[in-house]
Amino acid sequence: MNWGSWELKMRGIALVHESGYEIDLESVRSSGVVLDWIFQVLDQDWADAQTMHDLLRAFDAVLSPQVNFCADAAGRGVTGGRLAWEYALEMA
């Protein structure tokens, strides 16, 4: 499953950029962690507007952050890893 230069890798449960940069989805347990990853990627030399757009699309598809991490969803206890597995199963 790809979004531009990003690929969902189930071995290691990560979003991996073509540069080799990995976002560990197991670490995603809150909207703050999602936001932190966005700004960590933004600080990379290779992170252009298309890369950021593709990352946001990947987060939206895999994590559904508005449903799982925002507003009323706070404290639901979901993890990015579990959401990635659910997404992969849906797409299989």
pLDDT tens sequence across 4-51? 999 999 988 999 999 999 999 999 988 889 999 999 999 999 999 999
Task: Retrieve residue 56's tokens.
Answer: 């946001």
**What is the Cβ-side half-sphere exposure of residue 55, based on CA atoms within 13 angstroms?**
26
Q: Which residues contact 69 (CB under 8 A, 6 or more apart)?
A: 30, 31, 34, 63, 78
Task: Retrieve residue 15's tokens.
Answer: 């979003």
E strand or H helix that includes residue 2: strand 2-3
- Taking the model in full, what pTM does it have? 0.85
